[in-house]
């Protein structure tokens, strides 16, 4: 296969993921191009990129979601390739085709794989054909949903209550309803269809048997254009609020080597079944009896990818770029090792008691730091959290030799983190790190609801946590050179390169 060196990348995204890709470009000697809306004129990713182009109004459909505008801007900028990040256009096969039509390399899977895995009922059928275990369910007539509530109810009764209704074109918990009885089904069915239509423009829903008290475990996979597929171990994403991930960690506290291998091999087989290229994630439900079931495949880089980077020593964005150029993966499955434990928390601008967005201006920002602490951020002091976009402020990630040490390190880092001017979920994360069941690894997807009296209250934190936070505040206030958001937003995750299993830290682009 011909290798096509990439010299300039347009990042079709914003916020922390755009900053993350810009940093990777700089490390690889590649020029970066940012795009921005009116609301993002002063955003960190715009300031950091080598070039930046305005693409429209704050509303996503008039800027970041405009396929032709983004693709045409890449051509105008003289870019060789486009990195979609996650969200926005990252899983739109039409965007892949628009890039390829213009002679641009899309840093991600082919449109064919995206189509096969992006539509959930089609993906279920494809996975069943590939021998991948799926949750018992019904995709409807010809795999395209149900023509009426009556036919859907008949299917639900065949499966047996409780059942989950899910949007065929969905994700992120939208268009999803749990129903535990036949008399509640019509209302749940219509509600799921309405939300699916509003969120995805498609009201098709399908049914799955509800797995009670499962863990949500995902497997990071990687494929190249030479037919090589590997799994980069797992992430446990069971701490969720309204089906939205809040805390992620690796390794999963309840997986042993045998089960890890089984799930990883199934995920790699799923990727091979659709000729997948690049970074992707297979999501599974893990039942209490240790059976696992395929849920869906995310055909992009995940928000929580830093967790995998911490425990493998690999830079997944570097890998994405190299694979997109046509290089084979520089390792095989037997070369990969899972070392230590990593935890990521999503720090968001929100009312942590109600999980409602809290946009506004950040008037004070002091980032945590220290050994094995990484803070992937897209903001700085006096930056504005816009009402038009996701309310993610940063992804705080830590690594340690053991899970217990990682939790203690995260607690320390959270105690140092200070954000003023807006509400955040920092206090929520501090409580999670102190909660006994989480510390014991004893949790599932119902964890937050089961512990809401502890986690979702305005009660004061314990004395030790408050004392640690106060000491951190004094240290920051007295420092003559307080660390700013711009200088520390990326943390120091590259220290893990001591056991990097891929290309060396330097000279990655030799011969170009």
The reply to whether omega before 30 is within 30° of 0 (cis) is no
Q: Residues with Cβ < 8 Å from 186, sequence gap 6 or more?
A: 149, 153
In 3D space, the residue among 58, 64, 53 whose CA is nearest the CA of residue 40 turns out to be 58
Q: Residues with Cβ < 8 Å from 238, sequence gap 6 or more?
A: 214, 215, 216, 217, 443, 444, 445, 447
The reply to whether omega before 251 is within 30° of 0 (cis) is yes
Give DSSP secondary structure letters for 161-214. SSEEEEETT--TTTT-EEE-SGGGHHHHHHHHHHHHHHHHS---EEEEEPPSS-
Q: 67-77 and 93-101 helices cross at what angle (nearest 10)?
A: 30
Burial of residue 295 (CB within 10 Å: 0-12, 13-18, 19+) is buried
Q: 305-312 and 316-325 helices cross at what angle (nearest 10)?
A: 90
User: Could you tell me the two tokens for 10?
Assistant: 């347009």
Percentages (nearest 5) of helix, strand, coil residues in the chain: 40, 25, 40
Give DSSP secondary structure letters for 312-360. H---HHHHHHHHHHTPPPS--GGG----SEEEEEEEESEETTTTEE--E
Rounded Cα distance, 19 and 40, in Å: 13
Report the relative pairing of strands 373-377 and 51-56 from DSSP bridges.
unpaired
DSSP 3-state of 25: helix
Q: Which residues are catalytic?
A: 300
Rounded Cα distance, 63 and 73, in Å: 11
Q: Residue 249 in contact with residue 344, Cβ under 8 Å?
A: yes
Q: For the sheet with 278-286, list strands across it.
A: 292-298, 278-286, 215-223, 229-241, 244-250, 341-348, 392-400, 373-377
Q: Residue 300 in contact with residue 486, Cβ under 8 Å?
A: no
Q: Residues with Cβ < 8 Å from 301, sequence gap 6 or more?
A: 17, 85, 86, 90, 279, 316, 317, 320
Three-state secondary structure string covering 88-110:
CCCCCHHHHHHHHHCCCEECCCC
């Amino acid at each position: 296969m011909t290798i096509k060196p990439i010299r300039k990348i347009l990042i079709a995204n914003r916020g922390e993921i755009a900053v993350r890709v810009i940093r990777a470009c700089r490390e690889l000697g590649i020029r970066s191009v940012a795009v921005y809306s009116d609301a993002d004129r002063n955003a960190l990713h715009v300031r950091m990129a080598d070039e930046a182009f305005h693409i429209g109004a704050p509303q996503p459909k008039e800027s970041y979601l405009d396929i032709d505008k983004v693709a045409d801007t890449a051509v105008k900028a003289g870019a060789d390739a486009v990195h979609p990040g996650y969200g926005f256009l990252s899983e739109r096969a039409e965007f892949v085709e628009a890039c390829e039509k213009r002679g641009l390399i899309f840093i991600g899977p082919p449109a064919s794989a995206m189509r096969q895995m992006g539509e959930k009922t089609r993906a279920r059928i494809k996975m069943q054909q590939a021998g991948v275990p799926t949750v018992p369910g019904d995709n409807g007539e010809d795999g395209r949903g149900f023509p009426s509530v009556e036919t859907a109810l008949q299917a639900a009764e065949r499966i047996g209550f409780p059942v989950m209704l899910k949007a065929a074109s969905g994700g992120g918990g939208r268009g999803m309803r749990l129903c535990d009885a036949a008399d509640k089904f019509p209302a749940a069915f219509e509600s799921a269809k309405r939300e699916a239509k509003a969120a995805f423009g498609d009201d098709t829903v399908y049914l799955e048997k509800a797995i009670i008290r499962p863990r949500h475990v995902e497997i990071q996979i990687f494929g190249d254009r030479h037919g090589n597929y590997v799994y980069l171990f797992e992430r446990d994403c069971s701490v969720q609020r309204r089906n939205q991930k809040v805390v992620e960690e690796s390794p999963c506290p309840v997986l042993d080597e045998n089960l890890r291998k089984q799930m990883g091999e199934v995920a790699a087989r799923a990727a091979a079944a659709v000729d997948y290229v690049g970074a992707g994630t297979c999501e599974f439900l893990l039942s209490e009896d240790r059976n696992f079931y395929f849920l869906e495949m995310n055909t992009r880089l995940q928000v929580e990818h830093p967790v995998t980077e911490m425990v493998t020593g690999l830079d997944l964005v570097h890998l994405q770029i190299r694979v997109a150029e046509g290089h084979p993966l520089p390792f095989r499955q037997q070369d990969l090792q899972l070392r230590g434990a990593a935890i990521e928390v999503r720090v968001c601008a929100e009312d942590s008691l109600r999980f409602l967005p809290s946009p506004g201006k950040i008037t004070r920002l002091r980032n945590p730091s220290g050994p094995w602490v990484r803070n992937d951020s897209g903001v700085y002091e006096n930056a504005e959290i816009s009402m038009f976009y996701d309310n993610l402020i940063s992804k705080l990630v830590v690594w340690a030799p053991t899970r217990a040490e990682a939790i203690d390190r995260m607690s320390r880092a959270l105690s140092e983190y200070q954000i003023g001017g807006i509400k955040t979920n920092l206090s929520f994360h501090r409580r999670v790190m102190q909660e006994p069941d989480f510390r014991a690894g004893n949790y599932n997807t119902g964890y937050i609801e089961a512990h809401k009296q502890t986690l979702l209250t305005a009660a004061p934190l314990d004395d030790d946590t408050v004392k640690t936070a106060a000491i951190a505040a004094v240290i920051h206030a007295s420092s003559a050179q307080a660390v700013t958001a711009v200088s520390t937003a990326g943390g120091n995750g590259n220290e893990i390169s001591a056991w990097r299993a891929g290309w060396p830290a330097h000279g990655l682009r030799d011969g170009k």
